[in-house]
């Protein structure tokens, strides 16, 4: 299905903020003061939808151009570190991206042995919204552990486990299956401590055999193959920013 023209529109207040003109709060004031025009018409309603690619927008008579953001989804394989350069690492995630994307930063990290969804962007606001603990963005992982996970242990994990004298936030475990002496399941957390899921499961004596991030916020890994990347769709970007 092709996106409609409406999919490209965002609120005027949001556009001014994303374009680097000012903060979102200040944009509200500027618009209400009658200092903003859209296609030569003064607009005083901050929620007015605009198309950054087609509409002519000015502040105090000066044109405002849309800042060009990039949003790249990578399926990180095992064996790659999430860093731009590491003298001790043979392979980094940037080895998987074209040079034109090497200025982008990852929204969060995955350790060397974990694979899955990794978002790269130059949209600092979105990186903050996805990674700051106060935003409580959900992250879902597919996990395989050695041994049969008991109902009591599932409850312990979901309630919270003390790591470094601080209890983890409640987690959610779904799609629990036992296979050949191992357990597979999906776990959703809302914080991002270093190697958190591995450490949580080690704390209850279930070492992780395989770990893959399959979702972050509304963004899903889907059928993207290991080592491949793609640009986010307009719809995916809008959903991430609606948080």
pLDDT in the model for residue 124:
83
Return the CATH number of 138-216, one of 3.40.50.2000, 3.30.300.30, 3.30.70.1560, 3.30.70.260: 3.30.70.1560
In the chain, ranges of CATH 3.10.290.10 domains = 5-63
Tell me the CATH architecture of domain 5-63.
Roll (3.10)
Split at pLDDT 50, 70, 90, the class of 65 is confident
Distance, CA of 65 to CA of 19 (rounded, Å): 7
Q: What is the mean pLDDT of residues 87-115?
A: 90
Helices and strands (H, E) in the chain, number of each type: 6, 17
Q: Any idea which residues carry the catalytic annotation?
A: 111
- pLDDT at 41 exceeding the cut of 60: yes
Of 55, 76, 74, 77, the C-alpha closest to 66 is: 55
Residue intervals of the chain classified under CATH 3.30.70.580 are 71-133+219-241
Distance separating alpha carbons of residues 110 and 116, to the nearest angstrom? 8
- Contact between residue 166 and residue 205 where contact means Cβ atoms under 8 Å apart: no
Report the pLDDT averaged over residues 89-109. Answer: 91
pLDDT on residue 69: 85
Mention the CATH class of domain 71-133+219-241. Answer: alpha beta
Q: How crowded is residue 130: how many other Cβ atoms within 10 Å of its Cβ?
A: 21
The pTM (predicted TM-score) of the whole model is 0.74
Phi-psi region of 181 (alpha: psi -120 to 50; beta: other; left: phi over 0): left
How confident is the model over 115-144, as pLDDT tens digits?
999 999 988 889 989 998 888 899 999 999
Strand partners, 174: 186
pLDDT greater than 70 at residue 3:
no
Distance CA 138, CA 240 (A): 12
Residue 2: pLDDT band (50, 70, 90) is very low
pLDDT-derived band of residue 55, with 50, 70 and 90 as boundaries? very high
Give the range among 14-23, 42-51, 52-61 with minimum mean pLDDT.
Answer: 14-23
Tokens 């992250």 -> residue: 139
């Amino acid at each position: 299905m092709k996106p409609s023209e409406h999919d490209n529109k965002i609120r005027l207040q949001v556009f001014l903020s994303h374009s680097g003109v000012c903060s979102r709060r200040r944009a509200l004031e500027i618009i209400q003061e009658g200092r903003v025009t859209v296609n030569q018409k003064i607009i005083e309603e901050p929620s007015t939808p605009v198309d950054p690619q087609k509409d002519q927008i000015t502040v105090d008579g000066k044109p405002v151009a849309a800042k060009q953001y990039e949003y790249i989804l990578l399926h990180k394989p095992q064996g790659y570190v999430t860093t731009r350069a590491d003298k001790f690492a043979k392979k980094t995630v940037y080895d998987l991206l074209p040079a034109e994307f090497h200025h982008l930063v990852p929204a969060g990290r995955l350790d060397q042995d974990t694979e899955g969804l990794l978002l790269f962007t130059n949209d600092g606001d979105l990186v903050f919204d996805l990674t700051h603990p106060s935003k409580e963005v959900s992250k879902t992982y597919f996990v395989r552990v050695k041994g049969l996970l008991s109902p009591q242990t599932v409850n312990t994990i979901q309630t919270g486990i003390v790591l470094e004298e601080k209890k983890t936030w409640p987690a959610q475990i779904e799609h629990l299956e036992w296979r050949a002496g191992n357990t597979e399941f999906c776990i959703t957390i809302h914080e991002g401590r270093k190697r958190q899921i591995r450490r949580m499961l080690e704390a209850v004596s279930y070492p992780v055999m395989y770990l893959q991030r399959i979702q972050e916020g509304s963004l899903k890994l889907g059928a993207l193959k290991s080592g491949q990347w793609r640009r986010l769709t307009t719809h995916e970007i809008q959903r991430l920013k609606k948080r």
